[in-house]
Structure 1
């Protein structure tokens, strides 16, 4: 029997089907295009056939074992980063917050590179816990700064970017000093290249758990947008709710960095976009929209990186940076004006 929260989530989804369905349709098209586009010379029709009918050929193996996992990984990473960004903005009541602008991605990256330097040959699954630790450490610093009230909205974002730059410099130092980390250079740009089903299996449980929690507890998490006194007057334990939101940000962002590197700006851009769509409003609806909007942005960015540099590829993190940097500057200027 469905719980009241499950009934509420279903009701919220039914109230705003149009933008969700429209983005879901675009996402399906983008995923098919991602699977069918590549430098191998495989025709579009042959690649599409590989999705529908398996014949055991090398072409179909390429589709199912190389291209499809890449598209699926982009979907999962995009969902993680978008929902994490929404929760970070809600938790800190800061429209400039995201896993990148607050240095959370960089914290996870430092922890992963340091772990690989100490334990060479560690697989993707072994980097998840270090990623969580690094993301949690930086997230705690930024959260305490936010709670202190001593830093403005723009100042908090600048503090996060400064911390990110320091951590990035530390990562580069580790890369120079340790030969075992040299193969992480491409990963640090943020990429879903080289994706396989094992990477999908690493991130999938965290995506399901984190995104489901954001939907189920969205009514409680939305109280974080209010001040502490108002939240308490509504019967919410704001400390517990804030702790849950912080945990979800760490799980979602940390697992994304572990499998794809520090891809930036998805968590910043997507929440702002979905807030302007019909049906946006409370956090549950916004989280539902982010679950589709984040994957759509990342799959399209990955596809664009393959098209503009064909037959070579641009890491998807570079493409999102080119899109996100002017967006961040525009948001910062508007916030400073306010």
Structure 2
């Protein structure tokens, strides 16, 4: 995989450092929470086989799946955001432009309306189904020509339609409104081993697909006519890229609900570290950056109001909104 992504240069020096940093943050995520555990107690909890051990129950059954989910979600959204920015040639694009989040939201609300309160597994299944259906419909709306400009336009139109229906449903059904409001915030509180085992392979497959098509997407960024002259099939490349976006975003939304700003911030940080390298190198750097940022945000949310916690989506919004404004200001300065 790395040889196809990095044909002309070695793995960037920042990558091992980022991975080491993520490992440190991962251990911190297992240690810190409503009750802090030192390294010795953490190790004992991980290797112990005593079902009555409270530390083992907290670490193995609650914190470990949550931390692994944060890693997968962060890396997946970083790849998804970077791919979307590359396809649209828009540094402020995020995975939501594909309509995947809106499709997932519509499916969840429809499930709440017709079935009433659902368990976490059913909610995840509806969200994933809605995300997949949204990706297919947006690709069809974009047309067979495969124009990269049509994709965000089709996604925005589809998202507006979905969110209009969602607004109607939650206004007509107070019970659905309350349940939807909890899901819409975006949280890792319901991340468990079963949901992670079912959805993590999809997210990892999406990341691998994104890496595999990164060189073709990079060629497509030069222009569809030039890409076709180089032997690419723009429509096929766009479909594969959209599939990678749908798989990564869909898995993330199904686990934690709509989580914003990671798909916007991590690609920008990765491009700064990549120093003009290709899309594949940037994507490799974006994965640990997104994973680490998501883990840090989750730790902050558990610490700020412990023993209660702030949902992941709120923490990321508090961090991401100022960063988003700084990015806009930086882009406007470059244009001037």
Q: Which TM class, normalised by the smaller chain length? A: 0.7 to 0.9
| 2: CA distance, partners of 1:22 / 1:83 | 19
- Structure 2 portions without partners, runs of 5+: none
- C-alpha contact (below 8 Å) 2:204/2:248 kept by paired residues: no
The residue correspondences of 1:93-242 to structure 2 (distance < 5 A) are: 93-100=89-96, 103-120=99-116, 121=118, 123-127=122-126, 128-137=128-137, 147=147, 160=156, 170-176=165-171, 177=173, 179=175, 182-242=178-238
Cα distance between partner residues in 2 of 1:77 and 1:320? 13
* Shift, 1:185, TM fit: 2.6
Is the contact between residue 190 and residue 263 of structure 1 (CA under 8 Å) also seen in structure 2?
A: yes
Q: CA RMSD in A?
A: 3.2
Map of 2:48 onto structure 1: 54
Over 3 Å counting, the alpha-carbon distance change for 1:265 and 1:192 in structure 2 is same
Structure 1 position 334, deviation (Å): 4.2
Q: Which sits farther off after the overlay, 170-179 or 274-283?
A: 170-179
Q: Aligned ranges for residues 1-338 of structure 1 at < 5 Å?
A: 7-9=3-5, 15-39=10-34, 41-45=35-39, 47-50=41-44, 52-56=46-50, 57-100=53-96, 103-120=99-116, 121=118, 123-127=122-126, 128-137=128-137, 147=147, 160=156, 170-176=165-171, 177=173, 179=175, 182-278=178-274, 281-336=277-332, 338=335
Number of residue pairs matched by the alignment: 326
5+ unaligned residues in a row in structure 1: which ranges? Answer: none
Distance 2:271 2:10 in 1: 15
Deviation of the 1:221 alpha carbon: 2.0
Q: What displacement does 1:11 show? A: 5.7
- Deviation of 1:173 after TM superposition, in Å, equals 4.5
On the 8 A contact 1:139/1:250 being kept in 2, the answer is: no
Change (3 A) 1:143 1:280: farther
Q: Is the 8 A contact 1:274 1:280 kept in 2?
A: no
Distance 1:99 1:142, change over 3 A: farther
- Alpha carbons 2:274, 2:281 under 8 Å: kept: no
- TM-score under structure 1 normalisation? 0.84
Q: Give the structure-2-normalised TM-score.
A: 0.85
Q: Deviations over 1:55-93 (max 9, x none)?
A: 322321211111100000011111111100011111111
Deviations 1:25-71 (A, max 9, x none): 111111111111111x3532465224642232232121111110000
In the alignment, the residues of structure 2 paired with residue 296 and residue 140 of structure 1 have an alpha-carbon distance, to the nearest angstrom, of 35
8 Å contact kept, 2:135–2:243: no
CA contact (8 A) 1:104 1:139 kept: no
1:95-120 Cα distance to aligned partner (Å, 9 max, x none): 11102366542332222222332234
1:209 is paired with a residue whose SS is helix
Deviation at 1:257, TM superposition (A): 0.8
Quote the offset at 1:262 in angstroms: 0.4
What SS class does the counterpart of residue 276 from structure 1 fall into? helix
Task: Provide the secondary structure at the position in 1 that maps to 2:33.
Answer: coil
Instruction: Kindly provide the CA deviation profile for residues 7-27 of structure 1, in whole angstroms up to 9, marking residues without a partner as x.
Output: 334767x71342111111111
The alignment partner of 1:199 has SS state of helix
Q: Distance in 1 between matches of 2:41 and 2:310?
A: 22
Q: Is the 8 A contact 1:78 1:294 kept in 2?
A: yes
Query: Does structure 2 conserve the Cα–Cα contact (< 8 Å) formed by 1:27 and 1:296?
Result: yes
